[in-house]
Amino acid sequence: MPKNKFFQANVWLVETEIRPEHTVSYSYEVDLSRIEEIRLQAGVIRPSYTAILAKSVALALREFPYANQRIISRPWFAWWAPRLQRFLRCDIAVAVERNVPDAEGVAFVEILRDVDSTSLNELTAQLRILSTADETTSKNWKNMSRIVQSFPRILSGLLLGVPRYFPGLWVEHRGAATLISSPGKYGAQAIFGTWPWPLAFSFGQVKTSLRLGDNNEVHSVPTFTFTFNFDRRVMAGAPAAKFFRRVVDLLENPQALLTVAQGNRFPATNSQGAEDPRGVADRSPTPKTDRC
């Protein structure tokens, strides 16, 4: 096949940034009965599953701030020890596929900002815009495509990988700790993957499953297989399981998602103004408001 710069850039990013040996995956079959009730009550504009999942994850991140972190390492400094970057906002990255000839592996990432305080209708509207985004409507896709097409493979790969070394650039171009992907709409029953983000959520195709009720009656409910992949270096198995369980609880009891709640940011400094010992603070260039 002829050379394709998008294919080459994708190979570079996968080979340099994805480390499956550091990750663990959990899965759960989520009962969507109450989510379907909310979707039916919404009328014509129904909140999408991706919007509902993003909102659930963001609210859980606000309750479990230890999950909203990533590792920073700078291998060119032998004396640099890996550190944690804790994010002060509940931003969610969403994988968006692109139809590029001869490069079916190409996707880009858009950022949903302050998801914990954004309504389901607003999130659904943002996601619909992303599904048809191009260089005129998406800054991230415009930047990625121009870098890929303007520079040789190694240089474009290095440029695309720069944000992982710098806290502010990561926040600007990759969001926070979490990525959501949803290829289940194409028929996959379950998705187990590893990503450059320390937390990644995916869900499979919605299907009907049999459940045993409180009175031992069998009934059918809509479900999907929900998977969670996390960096074992950021948090241990038990804390990750508690966080994952909270996301599942919010999905199966989604009334809290209908309320646009405000949260408090975690302090970036201590009382003396010194750097927070828990990790590197979010250096987001966006205005500071009282959010996650």
| Per-residue DSSP letter, 278 | T
Q: What is the CATH number of domain 5-257?
A: 3.30.559.10
CA 26 – CA 123 distance, rounded (Å): 25
Report the candidate in 287, 139, 131, 279 with the shortest Cα–Cα distance to residue 198.
279
Report the b/e string of 54-80 with b at 16+ CB within 10 A.
bbbbbbbbbebbbbbbbebeeeeeeee
CA 233 – CA 70 distance, rounded (Å): 9
pLDDT at 103: 65
With a CB cutoff of 8 Å and minimum separation 6, the contacts of 50 are 94, 127, 180, 182
Answering whether pTM is above 0.85, one says no
Q: For the chain, how are helix, strand and coil distributed in percent, rounded to 5?
A: 40, 20, 40
Using DSSP's 3-state secondary structure scheme, residue 251 falls into: helix
Report the candidate in 45, 35, 60, 38 with the shortest Cα–Cα distance to residue 224.
35
CA 132 – CA 127 distance, rounded (Å): 9
CA 172 – CA 60 distance, rounded (Å): 22
CB 254 within 8 A of CB 52: yes
Amino acid residing at 215? N
CB 139 within 8 A of CB 113: no
Question: In whole angstroms, how large is the CA radius of gyration of the chain?
Answer: 20
Low-confidence ranges of the chain (pLDDT < 70): 78, 100-105, 260-292
CA 252 – CA 270 distance, rounded (Å): 38
Using DSSP's 3-state secondary structure scheme, residue 106 falls into: coil
Q: What are the DSSP calls for 149-203, one per residue?
A: HHS-HHHHHHHHHGGGG-HHHHHHHH-SSEEEE-GGGGT-S------SSSEEEEE
> Which two three-digit tokens encode residue 238?
């038990």
pLDDT at 265: 40
pLDDT at 211: 81
Report the candidate in 115, 270, 286, 281 with the shortest Cα–Cα distance to residue 201.
115
pLDDT at 22: 92
pLDDT at 291: 45
